[in-house]
Amino acid sequence: MGDLAEQVKVIQRSDPGAKQAWWDYCDHHLGGVKDPGRHEASVLQEFLNGYNSGAIQHATPQPQKGGGKGGSKGGAYTMGCG
């Protein structure tokens, strides 16, 4: 599982849109738990498969809560239904 968790971490570090895609996935499917190390390998593999195939797309990073300016409501999490 460590290798898959590391792959998700690398994706998160690759750009803000990729990180937001993971966060949106966590919020919608994983109870908001964003630490890849706390998820089963099958869950991580499902995200990686969707991300690598384009079914899970980069999202627009949302402003941090409690700070920042601007009215953007953030990104659209999308995942195809197969």
Tens digits of residue pLDDT in 36-58? 999 999 999 999 999 999 999 88
3-state secondary structure of 79: strand
Two structure tokens written together for 43: 């869950």
pLDDT in tens, 22-40: 999 999 999 999 999 999 9
Query: For all residues of the chain together, what is the average pLDDT?
Result: 83
Instruction: Please report the pLDDT score of residue 71 as a whole number.
Output: 43
77 or 54, which is more confident: 54
* C-alpha triplet 64, 21, 2: angle, nearest 5°: 105
pLDDT band at 74 (very low <50, low <70, confident <90, very high): very low
Contacts of 59 (CB under 8 A, 6+ apart): 17, 20, 21, 23, 24, 74, 75, 76, 77
